[in-house]
Structure 1
Amino acid sequence: MIQTNTSPTLDVLFKRILARKPDALALVDPLDKPRVTGQPAKRLSFAEADRAITALAAHFIEAGLPNNSVIAVQLPNTIEFVLTVLAAHRAGLVVALFPLLWRQAELTVALNRTGARAIVTSGRVDGVNHADLAMNAAAEAFSIRHVCGFGNHLPEGMASLDVALAGDATTRRAVVEDGRKAAIISFDVTADGFRPVPRTHLHLIAGGLALSLEADLPQGSVFMSAFAPSSFAGVISSLVVWLLSGGTLALHHPFDGNVLEQQISEQSCDTLIAPAQLAMRLSENELSSRLPTLRNVIALWRAPEQVLASPVWTDRQAALTDVYLFGEAGLFAVCRNAEGAPAPVLPGMHGAPREVPGSSISGEIFLTPKGTLALRGPMVTPAAYASSAPHGDSLMAQPPRDFVDTDYAARLDRSTGAICITAPPSGIMAVGGYRFLATDLLEWARRLGQGALLTALPDRLSGHRLAGRAHDNARAREALAELGLNPLMVEAFRDRTSST
């Protein structure tokens, strides 16, 4: 039984579309899903998706997961991810987003920090046995009571969600649909270390509106999402923007360029959501002639300091919107100007140009006294980034901040007054969508013994790339894998052949 409140949730948005057009195409799997997960690709209408969501929600309830408990999700960019998130919300649960590159070390820490009661994964993803990873991590997390997964050959003790999807869903419980309730937990790395960042449904909807309004996305759009869904930006740029539009969401598991273009053509996609470097690469060779249906490209910049130095967008058929990402702290979106160059970002209140004058959706951007960029507004969660109270003799409590300092160095351009982001946070290394403390790299290298080195080198595309050196690189890789570290660190010690 659903009790409706005045503030919508993601499930309420889904049900509104379902009521209008139950037979319309809702979700489309990646074409190469059989290679990625070993399962057939699916296409679901809104009615079919609703039945699957109800079945999964019933499974979570029957498994004894209480209202408002946390369920960890580590899944690829396939239909199962979307169904699981909406089913968890329908069952009154909070979703913790786990990146696919996380291995046992990160999984265990995140499970214990969030007190997760369950974990959902896929049997295999790109040849990696994620089911075994989840089982091993769950064994070290005392709060875990239920482990489940999609796919074949799941280990003993892991419940099959494919079986749950095929069954009849009859279990119901009262769930209050209130947008102010927690919806997701994502994970960030700041100077203070690893940090869970919870957000409500309203935070997610505000983020989705910031993107869809700035990009002027029409209702009923056909989206192609090629961005990993394991972050705040990943969820709002695909799942939330899709629910706000009421169109079709086609998914691509990054990355195969030929498959991606084939999917866009076959689905007649009008909007592409992708990492910025991928979007810029696609535009180099006559994008309009290859993908004639494409009208909007949403480029997500994990390294926002690189936007101003990026190439001019030359395609005149598809408009480009730059999305500046600041870890999990927040984001803002800005359309390219008429010449295809990045538009200036002025400090102050930011909203989409098609809004009512004076209103604000995105929030506010400003510089702190120490020369860093800060965000405030409806998608930002300052409490998640609040530092612990300093020790001292004063009994006076410090007032809570209503903004988040991103720690990105920034300055004002003297001639235009625009904000120029000049450097990422000090001491934090970003490799694609994964962030590490520089001190963590030194600690892992120290564990490998004398003479081992693990460092992050600047990289134009991904921010940084990891490089390692040890007396025996093969043994170093084995040791890091046994410690449960993700493959970015392990493969930093790959053998490099000499050109001589």
Structure 2
Amino acid sequence: MSQQITSPTLDTLFKRSLVRHPEALALVDPLNKQRITGQTRKRLTYAQADRAISAIAAHFIESGLPANTVIAVQLPATVEFALTVLAAHRAGLVVVPLPLLWRQAELTAALNRTAARSIVTCSKIDGVSYADLAMNAAAEAFSIRHVCGFGSGLPEGMASLDEAILEDSQTSRHVIQDGRKAALISFDVTNEGPRPVPRAHYSLIAGGLAMSLESDLAQGATIMSAFAPMSFAGLCASLVAWLLTGGTLVLHHPFDEEVLETQFNDHACDTLIAPAQLALRLDERGLAERLPSLRNVIGLWRAPEQVTSSANWTSRQVSLTDVYVFGEAGLFGARRSAEDGLPAPIKIGPHGTPREAPGASVAGEILLTPKGTLALRGPMVPVAAYAPPPPSEIMIAAPARDFVDTEYAARIDRATGAVSITAPPTGVMTVGGYRFLAQELQEWSRRLGQGALLTALPDRLSGHKLAGRAQDNARARDALTELGLNPLMVEAFRDRTPSA
């Protein structure tokens, strides 16, 4: 009887590297982890990481979480994040990554939308008690049955995953390793509101391949990831890129330039994955001289309309690959020429690597819709999540569609045939990695009372920045915090008057 062939999962990729070199260094914590979370730094080999992953997976199983259960995760870019995601998959669970900027209001909404049964966090991050945030959100989410975390001083009722790792339980269950199974549910913000976006393992792997193939990421690479991991692009730029290379993942909690430079050189990293604006800023300051082992930079653009107007890349001995990120819908990469350092032209049609070679591997396809917006098609693109609503007339069949419209305005240059992305989706604001609807700002302004104003202003680095005005800024900040809103909205009302 022939054995059924299935596509790989993230845990499959990890175990392949584990078999090849169990004692090789796999995961390294940020240099300043003690300051960020109060926890001791970890450096784990593949064998050590495997034991921790199995112990955490055993804890999930022993806690009564059935296979295919949804588990929410809100963690910084530390070793615990990678261990938790892989442990959830080893136990057959589906992961919902929750951005660190999300506070109680957004956490509760996400937990209810996904019917999550568990939430994983850590005691504190940058002085904020994320354990308390998780407990308060869980109290408002009917589906939550289990809350656990890393770190000391966890509140009563929250199970310690540090203790679970020390207990090293051998409890396991048979999970079919099939890349077509659900692995992730992330949240996008479209002009219709927040949208849960489920993805299979193969879709995540396709996103990682789009980055690693285009940038020619070497097997066994030592990668420093300085990109927040709690999104599709963030997972691809950290966990998936590392698993595909079978090398070492050095994590950096964004962003401390001095810490990044020290840790990068300590581990002789050859690859840096970071926000593109940060990479270009480092290039202006003599990146090649300060990071002598660096050979490859992957720069992610959360505001892809800014790529064509960006500065030239000047470090000739270091390659730069621009990765265009379209929310949670998908991404593609384009490596810059070493000759002029200009962004590579983007063409309609398949994109893979190398783009000019016959028979190149295809990572996806770029389309232009009749309404002049850019669309994506391919294995990483979750078409069903973005499908248009069915027609109101029951007898009319919904039109078939195998692509996702990103809603980014785009046009084709008639002379060169290159695509130019000209504007982000209407009604959607981006501040760093945080996306929200413009109408939300108006709603929260009204809740603050007469004379309050909350608006988004264009910003060259992050897309937008928030600014607020109220009769009493301190009271406005307290009110927004009490409502459980994220710190971007709260700090928009900071006092800007210089002190005497």
- Shorter-chain TM-score range: over 0.9
Secondary structure at 1:399's aligned position in 2? coil
CA distance in 1, matches of 2:456, 2:36: 29
Q: TM-score, normalised by structure 1?
A: 0.98
Q: How does 1:245-284 map to 2 (within 5 A)?
A: 245-284=245-284
Aligned partners of 2:499 and 2:166: how far apart in 1? 55
Q: Which residue identity lines up with residue 388 of structure 1 in the other structure?
A: P
Is 1:439–2:439 an aligned residue pair? yes
1:164 Cα offset (Å): 0.3
Task: Find the residue that maps to 2:446 and give its secondary structure.
Answer: helix
The equivalent of 2:426 in structure 1 is 426
Q: How does 1:399-414 map to 2 (within 5 A)?
A: 399-414=399-414
Once residues 4 and 10 of structure 1 are traced to their aligned partners in structure 2, the CA distance between those partners, rounded to angstroms, is 19
RMSD: 1.4
Q: CA 1:429 to 1:346, structure 2 compared with 1: closer, same or farther past 3 Å?
A: same
Q: What residue in structure 2 maps to residue 211 of structure 1? A: 211
| Mapped partners of 1:287, 1:18: distance in 2 | 33
Partner of 1:332: 332
The AA in structure 2 aligned to 1:412 is I
Measured at CA, do residues 394 and 118 of structure 1 come closer, stay the same or move farther in structure 2, by a change above 3 Å?
closer
Q: Residues 391 and 397 of structure 2 are in contact (CA less than 8 Å); yes or no, is this contact kept in structure 1?
A: no
Partner AA of 1:404 in structure 2: V
Aligned amino acid, residue 15 of structure 1: K
CA contact (8 A) 1:204 1:236 kept: yes
Q: Distance in 2 between matches of 1:354 and 1:327?
A: 24
Give the whole-Å Cα distance in 2 for the aligned partners of 1:301 and 1:58: 38
Residues 196-244 of structure 1: CA deviation (Å, up to 9, x unaligned) = 1111110011111111110011110000000000000000111111111
Aligned twin of 1:367: 368
User: How far apart in 1 are the matches of 2:352 and 2:29?
Assistant: 33
CA displacement at 1:390 relative to structure 2: 3.5
After superposition, residues 187-202 of structure 1 pair within 5 angstroms as 187-202=187-202
CA drift at 1:289: 1.3
Distance in 1 (alpha carbons) for counterparts of 2:264 and 2:255 = 14
What is the identity, as a one-letter code, of the residue corresponding to 2:445? Answer: A
Secondary structure of 1:416's partner?
coil
State the distance in 2 between where 1:170 and 1:16 align: 20
> Contact (CA 8 Å) 1:223, 1:269: kept in 2 or not?
yes
Preserved contact between residue 209 and residue 361 of structure 1 (Cα < 8 Å): no
User: What does 1:125-164 correspond to in 2, within 5 Å?
Assistant: 125-164=125-164
Q: Is this contact kept in 2: 1:298–1:322, CA < 8 A?
A: yes
SS at match of 1:361: strand
Q: Take 2:292 and 2:361, find their aligned partners in 1: how far apart are those partners?
A: 34
Q: TM-score, normalised by structure 2?
A: 0.98
Aligned-pair distance for 1:173? 1.1
Task: Summarize the Cα distance change of 1:4–1:70 in structure 2 as closer, same or farther, 3 Å threshold.
Answer: farther
Q: CA deviation at 1:354?
A: 7.3
Consecutive unaligned residues in structure 1, runs of 5 or more: none
> Which amino acid is the alignment partner of residue 439 of structure 1?
Q
> How many aligned positions are there?
497
Gaps of 5+ in 2: none
Residues 476-491 of structure 1: pairs in structure 2 closer than 5 A: 476-491=476-491
Match of 2:184 in 1: 184
Structure 1 residues 107 and 355, CA gap change in structure 2 (3 angstroms): farther
> Could you tell me which residue of structure 2 aligns to residue 47 of structure 1?
47
Amino acid of the residue matched to residue 368 of structure 2? L
2-side partners of 1:208 and 1:277: how far apart?
20
Aligned-residue offset at 1:4: 8.1
- The answer on whether the counterparts of 2:323 and 2:334 sit within 8 Å (CA) in structure 1 is yes
Whether contact under 8 Å (1:123, 1:153) holds in the other structure is yes
Taking the aligned partners of 2:201 and 2:466, their CA distance within structure 1 comes to: 35
Q: CA shift at 1:285, angstroms?
A: 1.9
State how far apart, in whole Å, the 2-side matches of 1:20 and 1:191 are. Answer: 46
Tell which deviates more after alignment, 378-387 or 38-47.
378-387
Question: Would you say the 8 A contact 2:52–2:168 is kept in 1?
Answer: no
Contact 1:72/1:111, CA 8 A, preserved across alignment: yes
CA distance in 1, matches of 2:241, 2:355: 16
Seq. identity, %: 72
Matched, 1:346 2:347: yes
> Residues 146 and 34 of structure 1: is their aligned pair in 2 closer, same or farther, counting only changes over 3 Å?
same
- Structure 1's 4 and 144: CA in aligned 2 closer, same or farther, altered over 3 A? farther
Cα pair 1:4 1:176 within 8 Å, conserved:
no
Q: Answer yes or no: is 1:376 the counterpart of 2:377.
A: yes
One-letter amino acid matched to 1:367 = L
Alignment of structure 1 residues 281-292 onto 2, 5 Å: 281-292=281-292
- Aligned equivalents of 1:197, 1:361: Cα separation in 2: 23
C-alpha deviations, 1:391-430, integer Å up to 9, x for none?
Answer: 2x45122133110000000000121010000000000000
Q: How far 1:359 moved relative to its partner?
A: 4.8
Per the alignment, residue 391 of structure 2 pairs with 390
Structure 1 distance, partners of 2:223, 2:355, is 21
Give every structure 1 segment of 4 or more consecutive aligned residues whose post-TM-superposition deviation is greater than 6 Å. Answer: none
Q: Residue 8 of structure 2 contacts residue 202 of structure 2 at CA under 8 Å; is this kept in 1?
A: yes
Residues 279-317 of structure 1, C-alpha deviations (whole Å, 9 max, x = no match)? 011111221111110000000001100000000000011
2:309 is the counterpart of 1:302: no
Query: Which stretch of structure 1 is more off in the superposition, 359-368 or 223-232?
Result: 359-368
CA shift for structure 1 position 162? 0.5
Question: Do the aligned residues in 1 keep the contact of 2:354 with 2:360 (CA within 8 Å)?
Answer: no
SS of the equivalent of 1:315 reads coil
Structure 1 residues 289, 356: closer, same or farther in 2, change over 3 A?
closer
CA contact (8 A) 2:431 2:465 kept: yes
Whichever residue aligns with residue 391 of structure 2, its letter is: P
Aligned residue identity for 1:342: P
Distance 1:437 1:339 in 2: 38
1:314 matched to 2:314? The reply is yes
Contact 1:214 1:334 (C-alpha < 8 Å) held by counterparts? yes
Amino acid at match of 2:423: A
1:130 to 1:5, Cα distance in 2 relative to 1, 3 A: farther
Give 1:8 deviation, angstroms. 0.6
CA contact (8 A) 1:4 1:177 kept: no
Q: Which residue of 2 aligns with 1:227?
A: 227
Q: 1:234 to 1:116 in 2, by over 3 A?
A: same
Q: Structure 1 residues 36 and 498, CA, compared in 2 at 3 Å: closer, same or farther?
A: closer
